[in-house]
Structure 1
Amino acid sequence: MTTPSPLKAALLVLAGAIMLSFAAIFARLTGMPPTTSGFYRMVFGCLAFAGLLALRPEMRVGWRDNWAGSFLIGAFFAADIWFWHRAIEYIGPGLSTLLANFQVFLLTAIGVIWMRERVGWRFATGLGLAMGGLWLLFGRDWANLPPDYRMGVILGLLTALAYALYLLSLRGFQIRHGHIRPEARLLQSTFFCALILGAANLVEGNSFDIPTWNALAALIGLGLVCQVLGWLSITRGMPFLPAGLVGLLLLIQPASSVLWDYLIFGLRLDAWQLTGIGLALVGIYFGLRSASRRKLG
């Protein structure tokens, strides 16, 4: 793969983060049950990855190998989508995406406990700021929040845990089986994620019907724009940028999701909650920067 210039690499990561910021918006716009929209996100994503591999033979390298590992990756991703799409229903696209990005702290905690990794002041500072932001957003009036809203917060944090396990397993299996191209691995894991969510949709008794053309357009956006193009853009640009810039650019995703939620769905927050979002975003930035330094160093 040709090495991109620093400007092109930054634009790739920026574009990918913006595309990912629309995932929760598309999921909400489908108007479909959470598991059903998650299933179709994986179906369209799988079809897009299959088409990409058909057109680019060099991306097929290793696609027949380690399907068992991809099943575990897909299972964690299915849990991520299952929790997250429900959180979107309860607390909206913006706040659910913000909570999902707390994965950086859970991922680091897993690394400290399991792999004896060390953390520095950036992580400690980021965690403190993020926890303060979380309390301003939800903790100040927790007892008076509606039950569904509280459930949405819990589901958002469970999303972060499932997302952290997904990233950890993806990274681990790619290290152990380095000959498998990332695109081939993503095809495998997306396929298994679609199977799991499809089975869950059957158990829940949901219809697989796509009710409107607008719902179909939103599902295609989920699968093509978010599941494929967004992640490919980020993975193409991220290795060629400094850790601090990567953290700053990835922060665009939760910040943009909150903005789209405000513009499209009328999200309204008081001054304390806006302060909480600001603290959480700064905390996530420090957490991302700490994680990027460990991976790059």
Structure 2
Amino acid sequence: MSDIHLGFRDCRADYLLDFLNSVECETLYLVGDVVDLWALKKRFFWPAAHYDVLRAILKKSRHGTRVVYIPGNHDEPLRDYVGETVGAVEIKHEVIHQTADGRKLLVFHGDVLDPHIRLNKLEHLVGDVAYDFLLFLNRWGNVIRSRLGLGYWSLATYIKKRVKNARQVIDIYEQAAAEEAMRRGLDGVVCGHIHQPGMRMIDGIVYCNDGDWIESCSALTETDSGELQLLHWSDRQRVLREFDSQVDLHQAEVIPLRKAG
């Protein structure tokens, strides 16, 4: 999972904490932007739930789960510690993960692909302001939905999928990620960075984006047999997409997930 953004007011630490307490895994990859140092520099924000998320991750590391931290652009200073182990947490620049069925996947945050997305300074400024406004609407919209008894819904994700320029940026990023895995002779790539969960085949390469915990509340998981599943986890849990080596990518039936225990 990636793009948790602890220290940022729109981080859905409540849903993430429920996810961490509900699943067990052999390896947990934290694929960048776990702690949002950019946001903390502007305004210190660290509620108890954000501390509880870190404590849950460290608890897993002490009880047999291998935890690998791959810093992103919002927690870039931690890249100074790449190659070291802090507590029981390994800090890596990137890793090659081999699935249970033998596929090799490049795992990295994805900000190294930014040069492929050519935006001028004005577009960046407008994009940042517009995104902050979308998150504001998203936050208060879900407050209202909760009071009406409705489930979590991401307005920001809905709009990004339907704005032409945003969709083009996402497509360019996904193509660049797949090409990087292809260049290295790998079977696929797992990344984050753009806050857009996805799973699809691109020129024979498995592209997986595990999303974020601000908008999509999503994570990528692997079953014991090597099947990849993209999960959404908020007040409702469901499988978004799934893929295995025998069956092509397909939209999974939207069904509730049973929590461990």
TM value normalised by structure 2: 0.32
Identify the structure with bigger relative contact order (alpha carbons < 8 Å, sequence gap 6+). 1
Quick check: which one's helix share is greater?
1
Structure 1 or 2, whichever has the larger Rg, is 1
Quick check: which one's strand share is greater?
2
